[in-house]
Amino acid sequence: MGQGLSCRVQDEHGLFTAVQFGDLEIVKTVLERDPSLIQQKTVYDRHSALHIAAANGQIEILSMLLENRSVNPDSLNRHKQTPLMLAAMHGKIACVEKLIEAGANILMFDSLNGRTCLHYAAYYGHSDCLQTILSSARTSHVASSWGFSRFVNIRGGKGETPLHLAARQRRPECVHILLDSGALVCASTGGHGLPGSTPLHLAARGGSMDCIRELLAWGADRLHRDASGRIPYAVALKHKNGACAALLNPSSAEPLVWPSPLKFISELNQDAKALLEQALMEVNKEREKAILKNTGYSMPSPSHSDTTAMDDNISEASDSQLCCICFDQLCAIEVQDCGHQMCAQCTLALCCHNKPNPTTLSLPAPICPFCRSNIARLTVVKVKVNTADQELDLYSSPKQRKSRKSMNLSEGSSSFRSLSAVPSFGKIVGRGSGRVSVDIEIDKP
């Protein structure tokens, strides 16, 4: 189902062709001549003008059609697909937003595979559409009637969730958004793929290292067996995805897992969250390098620009306040309310160190390593720039980082300021490649 949804057969009036190619004037002229044509559909696929406008991203025509109260935003084609499903399928974000604004139902299922618009957005990898649909679910009647968590894990006709589809189709950004929204990382399918497959099984089959990395970082079980008794490692081997199999081998090192059950982790602001997520991925990439070292596979080598950025970060770090736990990285995270600071890696290690209590299945709350008080909230450290004397987040844009030539250590708020003022500690320990500096550009998954 491509862009040619107009179906020119028996389109004597020219409405469907005009809608497909975005000729607003012809559409208005045709409808003024015969208003009943707004309800007409194509002969075979039963596409309405609204379906065609949504699939082709003709937002002006779509908006004009929706102004007519007789037009149903949830009109169905031959496969019971709505215009919202087709807009999500083709990644037409403006049409997705407009249809949702007009009251389109995000809980409609098609008759082809029993899927919703959320399944379509995940399958075709349109992360912006996926995010918009999820945002709508949080604020609409869906959250109160169905429950947001249930909607994120909504199943298709064969028991597949949007996360299963995103993992199988190699859509790491969609995988990340869904996991971050509460998708169940170990949910099993019904008849989709092989029965009993988890998203990790399907990612192993598709051969996506990025999807596997995301799933493992959210606690996916490498020993989970599908209905045939195969673990993801065996699936990766069968489909000749050797590098994926090396990471999924149960005998290889366990990855660091995002501490999502912790309350203050769920309450992180976006900057602190992105910083810690990047630190988690950097630590796990070091694990991957160690695993792949003795195999025929290797991680992608950094580009020249990345190497230059690293050198710049190291030179800046020599003038900045170092973490008093590892003496290796800049302080990037501040504990509130005590105000003590540490780097992103040490913060993450602190949060991921304790295992859930087997009797209560809950994580013990981490405590500040400096004052032993419970951690209630984490924020990004702010420092002052000498030249402008203004506060900037350490988590900042590349342009801000380039303009920052030096940082004033005397403005730091750590109780261990005197220790971090000794630059030799950082040089003696060395900058482990598995650690991330707060000045490294953060690529959101």
Whether pLDDT at 303 is above 50: no
Long-range contacts from 235-241, C-beta under 8 angstroms, 24+ separation:
235/201, 235/204, 235/205, 236/204, 236/205, 236/207, 239/204, 239/205, 239/207, 241/204, 241/205, 241/207
Give domain 312-352+368-445's CATH number out of 3.40.50.1220, 3.30.40.10, 3.40.50.280, 1.10.3720.10.
3.30.40.10
| CA distances from residue 13 to 34, 246, 299 in whole angstroms, order as listed | 9, 60, 58
CA distances, 181 to each of 105, 164, 218, 336, 353 (Å): 20, 14, 12, 25, 24
Domain covering 142-258 in this structure, CATH number: 1.25.40.20
Assigned CATH class of 1-105:
mainly alpha
Say how far residue 165 (Cα) sits from the centre of its chain: 14
Taking 60 as the threshold, does the pLDDT of residue 305 lie above it? no
- pLDDT tens per residue across span 55-78: 999 999 999 999 999 999 999 999
CA dist list (Å): 94 to 50, 58, 133, 289: 14, 9, 12, 41
Between CA 61 and CA 63 the distance in angstroms is 5
What's the whole-model pTM score?
0.76
CA-to-CA dists, residue 282 to 258, 289, 322, angstroms:
13, 11, 19
pLDDT digits (tens, 9 = 90+) for 203-262: 999 999 999 999 999 999 999 999 999 999 999 999 999 999 999 999 998 888 888 878
Query: Which range is least confidently modeled, 45-59, 124-138, 426-440?
Result: 426-440
Look at residue 419 in the predicted model and tell me its pLDDT.
Answer: 29
* Average pLDDT of the segment spanning 129-144: 92
In the chain, ranges of CATH 1.25.40.20 domains: 1-105, 142-258
Q: Each residue of 182-199: pLDDT tens digit?
A: 999 999 998 777 899 999
